[in-house]
Structure 1
């Protein structure tokens, strides 16, 4: 290894000024390290990384207890991030999309830190609501082979109320199984003994941008669970309501709290950008004007307007290129020029000139009246009745298509299911998810403990692990000290009687904040 490579590794192993919490992330190396991303309003940039609070506290607190019972080695950390929604909820004022990106970046940095410090440790990822959005983006990249860590280092992952859920997606996206797949290289004994998941899969989809929808997780499929309760708008939004997605996309890019002038400016910019993209697409793709004449005008939508707004408002959407914008403006300009020329030909005739001249000598106002009358008549004749009838019918079809595309917004039966959306969004610790009556959070807690036990069965004899010699070290049976030097003896001759995971023996009840 060159000196430059050594320096690079040294720099990446330490925390950046924006992520000081990374230095406190890893104290010892368990068999399984869980990285958790809380929901909107449940975290902050300086939130403690070991406090079991919020929705995910109902997962990781019990998971630590279950790990102790199994004698498996498990640790966890919560990613600090704004958890904001533009100031609409208590917490940061950052737009939702900015907050999600910061959460995903912190999750990526934490995953790299853990596998760098602990070569034998596997990772588990859990996320709730906005945190599930960030975790989903991270997991999708890992499953596609473009993520920050290798896919075989992810043992398990669970998302609750994820805005990235695909319409009608099963609990294990991309898999037909109703039980999780075991981690690569693990013993599989404990995970295979878990009960099946019987929670229904709602027909709706996540309310997040279309570009973030996760239909599967590539090579991680089967190891990622996505729990969604019927009526939870975050993950079960109406399938036939693209205008709702467009509104959510715009809202996710704005700041609505604090300074009202800044809020108006932020909303205006988001709407202007979206409207411009939609206008360019409609002119270029949906409106045909053969020979640049209004007489030949035709409207044939390839997509509904609401669908175009949903796509254009996606934060990942590319704005129209200069060439596309110029093409739209050119089409409009040529139509306008041809219309003016057509009107002029009918107005500026020898007969009109003679009438204006005669009237203008004695009554200038009458001369202007002659021109106005001729112009009005020419404009009316500009679009023949047959063309007008066709365009009116096409415009009616556009409106009818909009109603059909957004039919769930007009369906009282569909809307009724969202009457208790807050209860659905915050109820993952109570709704039954297995035939045995376990909740979704309880199932994931048992899954994490089981995965840690299975990974521990194989890593206990590996070069980076230590077999427990003390009967009191039940939660640290395969926990090894954090690797700080290349010296092998320092890794294999020391076993800590307890790990940071044992400090979370009690789990505070979460203060569920309504998530937008």
Structure 2
């Protein structure tokens, strides 16, 4: 085996290990029955809901136990604002298909959506039982994905409560972080959070969220927007944390993460079969989408005019949040392919060289979109990615979030 092949093999193995180590991807499907949220005595000014990361929770976890990365943020808030803040943690499987110690056996997509369902129920209960209480959220790793999807829907007006009930949301190691995202998505350069609704923001105005910037973007490639909550959602990432700071040009890494997120991984033999079936399905979906959207045929001519590159088609096909082609789509793609082959067969000398050039350029772009995967210098950034992913508490990355939550509580009380 030559040096180049060795390098590619080592890079591929490292990428696979890192995907499993940080345990991130996407979510779509249903979850379990929600538990009641502990409230009292009385209703607080601010209720903080936390969602732990992979392996840090379970369906029977104590909702008041200040453990894990999220607990390291929320516990100091309680101490600094006694009587003003109550909290609980969302109990859920926190699993990655059985591959991560401490996590459940459910695939990642099931686990994250379970957390989201539990979060919606908790917020609904708090809003109903404590109509004057504002709500904040803290999410870490896969918990950040669940919290982010909640913030997206609330900001768009489709969540379980209106945006006026949300004081602030802090995300850490968020797999849907947009490439090059600022700390406040949609607000480049902003370092001071927007005030909580109905407050002057006097205390919050003294808070600076100045965590160091991170290159790249989330491995799940969701690039979430927050609508009415823009300025009240912070997305904090440690540079070199593969969960939220994956290389820009690593499309197949994101495809692999999305596929692994849907798989049963606790049994090696089952994992091989599941991963193979998911990969084959993604290829079929991508090809169907390419035929329907990127190949133009008519008037004796065929052109490949991509509306989205091959890398984008593969990422979308592997993402369970994006609906698969319908049977009608598959039938339409088959009919169009028959039309394409018949058109090319009628004029191969005129059409084949042109199509070869167009598809060759598309393949070259796919290679460029994955150039970071075979660049050893890029992967040096991730030599300690597991430590970076797990080190938000010890690195001081949580300090500004603590200050923010305390300031929110004081502003809410001051407004009353």
* Same fold (TM > 0.5): yes
Query: Relative to structure 1, is the Cα distance of residues 119 and 303 closer, same or farther in structure 2, using a 3 angstrom cutoff?
Result: closer
In structure 2, the gaps of 5 or more residues are: 1-30
User: 1:272, CA displacement in angstroms?
Assistant: 3.0
Contact 2:33 2:118 in 1 (8 A): no
- Residue of structure 1 aligned with 2:90, choices 72, 79, 87: 79
Corresponding position of 2:371? 407
User: 1:324, CA displacement in angstroms?
Assistant: 2.7
Corresponding position of 1:495? none
2:404 matches 1:447: yes
SS at match of 2:49: strand
SS at match of 1:36: strand
More deviation, 440-449/393-402: 393-402
User: 1:229, CA displacement in angstroms?
Assistant: 1.0
2:197 matches 1:184: yes
Contact 1:231 1:424 in 2 (8 A): yes
User: Highest CA radius of gyration, 1 or 2?
Assistant: 1
- After superposition, give the CA deviation of every residue in 1:279-320 in whole Å (9 maximum; x if it has no partner): 21233344456677xxx6654544332221101111121222
User: 1:108, CA displacement in angstroms?
Assistant: 0.9
User: 1:395, CA displacement in angstroms?
Assistant: 4.2
Contact 1:25 1:110 in 2 (8 A): no
User: 1:169, CA displacement in angstroms?
Assistant: 1.2
Corresponding position of 1:309? 314
Corresponding position of 1:236? 245
- Residue of structure 1 aligned with 2:186, choices 162, 168, 174: 174
Corresponding position of 2:234? 225
Query: Relative to structure 1, is the Cα distance of residues 289 and 425 closer, same or farther in structure 2, using a 3 angstrom cutoff?
Result: same
Contact 1:160 1:226 in 2 (8 A): yes
Distance in 1 separating the partners of 2:295 and 2:232: 47
Task: Specify which structure has the bigger relative contact order, considering alpha-carbon pairs within 8 angstroms and separated by 6 or more residues.
Answer: 1
- Residue of structure 1 aligned with 2:224, choices 203, 214, 218: 214
Corresponding position of 1:254? 263
- After superposition, give the CA deviation of every residue in 1:126-176 in whole Å (9 maximum; x if it has no partner): 000100000000011111111111211111211101112111111112224
Distance in 2 separating the partners of 1:426 and 1:23: 27
Corresponding position of 1:101? 113
Contact 2:297 2:339 in 1 (8 A): no
Calculate the TM-score normalised by the size of structure 2. Answer: 0.84
Corresponding position of 2:61? 47
Corresponding position of 2:13? none
Distance in 2 separating the partners of 1:317 and 1:255: 20
Corresponding position of 2:6? none
Distance in 1 separating the partners of 2:37 and 2:171: 26
Distance in 1 separating the partners of 2:32 and 2:231: 37
- After superposition, give the CA deviation of every residue in 1:17-46 in whole Å (9 maximum; x if it has no partner): 923x31645543111110000001100111
- Residue of structure 2 aligned with 1:396, choices 360, 363, 369: 360
What's the C-alpha RMSD, in Å, of the aligned pairs? 2.6
